[in-house]
Amino acid sequence: MPKKNGLVFQHLERIDVGALERYQEIIRAYVRKREGVYALYRKGQLYYVGLASDLKWRLAAHLKDRHKAKWDSFSIYLTANSPYLRELESLMLRVFSPKGNKISGKFAVSENLARRFKKDVNEYYKHEVRKLFGLGSRRKAILDRPDSLLARHIQQTGQSLWLRAIYKKKTYRAVVEKDGTVRFKNRKYPTPSAAGRAVIQRACNGWAFWRYEQVPGQWIRLSELRRIVKSR
């Protein structure tokens, strides 16, 4: 059988803090010069989450720093060298919000949908009110509106934006028009997600699905372009 690849290749969970002294040579052999994510617990509740390039040193430090005597057990997750390790730490901080962590994690390129969600909820209620009073529906027009960020990028650069996606080992190509619409197979779609849905035949996050050619031969997720355009 082929060897499986994964992020975590060894782990040790819910070990009493006293083991760090009683069995320190054994534990040191496990974690010496190894990176990974660790978690500290107090009375069974998650207290702190951290990321370390040398777990041996970090665990020993937490016996003396501001976290001293605030935790009674720990878990360690030894990881392979992965570019997504810090993202994993950020995800854990946001999901569990440990009391010992002063800051929440940050994601590299993820879009916070809160603002869009608020806007869409408002539009939804406007649509319901219009329907209630027989004023017709604007919802389809809203959903069919071309993406303004892509249109802005095209206007700023004066160049077409070519997209590529690989799905089920097959390559698909599309192009962003001047008005921000996405042309795929001679049909225009208002957003990258709508064009992505045409490929996979189900709901799709087009900003993660499509990639654009940042430089010749280098294809980057479209979500990175959105971040760049927003920052201009």
Q: 232 or 85: whose pLDDT is higher? A: 85
Packed helices 222-231 and 148-157: angle between N→C axes, nearest 10 degrees: 70
| Domain-located, residue 2 | no
| Residue 3 located in a structural domain | no
CA angle, corner 23, sides to 18 and 24, nearest 5?
A: 95
Say if residue 62 is in the same domain as residue 14.
yes
109/116 Cα distance (integer angstroms): 16
Domain membership of residue 66 (yes or no) is yes
Any domain includes 72? yes
Are 31 and 68 in the same domain? yes
153 and 217 inside one domain:
yes
Please, what is the end-to-end C-alpha distance for the chain in angstroms? 50
The overall pTM is greater than 0.75: no
85 and 122 fall within a common domain: no
User: How do residues 8-63 score in pLDDT, each as one tens digit?
Assistant: 888 999 999 999 889 988 988 888 878 888 999 999 999 999 888 888 888 889 98
Asked whether residue 69 falls in the same domain as residue 124, the answer is: no
Q: How far is CA 114 from the centre of its chain?
A: 15
Non-local (6+) Cβ contacts of 153 within 8 A are: 161, 176, 225, 229
Place of tokens 């280098």: 218
pLDDT value at residue 136: 54
Residue 135 near residue 144, CB atoms below 8 Å: no
Residues 137, 153: one domain?
A: no
Evaluate whether residue 102 is within a structural domain.
Answer: no
In sequence order, the 6+-apart residues with CB closer than 8 A to the CB of 85 are 7, 35, 36, 37, 51, 79
Whether 172 maps to a domain, the answer reads: yes
CA distance 207 to 220: 10
Contacts 24+ apart (CB under 8 A), 11-16: 11/75, 11/76, 11/77, 11/78, 12/75, 12/76, 13/75, 13/76, 14/41, 14/73, 14/74, 14/75, 15/73, 15/74, 15/75, 16/72, 16/73
Q: Do 91 and 130 belong together in one domain?
A: no
Give residue 166's domain range: 146-231
> Could you say which of 74, 96, 118 is where a domain stops?
96
Higher pLDDT, 129 or 172: 172
Helix (H, G, I), strand (E, B) or coil at 153: helix
82 to each of 7, 36, 64, 77, how far by Cα in Å? 7, 10, 29, 13
Domain co-membership, 122 together with 193: no
**167 shares its domain with 125:** no
Same domain, residue pair 17 and 75? yes
Final residue in a domain of this structure, among 96, 127, 156: 96
Residues 38 and 118 in one domain: no
Residue 52 lies in a domain: yes
Residue pLDDT, tens place only, 93-128: 888 889 888 887 777 767 777 777 787 788 777 777
Which domain CATH number covers 38?
Answer: 3.40.1440.10
- 18 falls within a domain: yes
Q: Which of 22-36, 74-88, 136-150, 190-204 has the lowest mean pLDDT?
A: 136-150
Strand partners, 183: 175, 188
Q: Are 154 and 198 within one domain?
A: yes
For residues 62 and 17, is the Cβ–Cβ distance under 8 A? no
Tally the domains of the chain.
Answer: 3
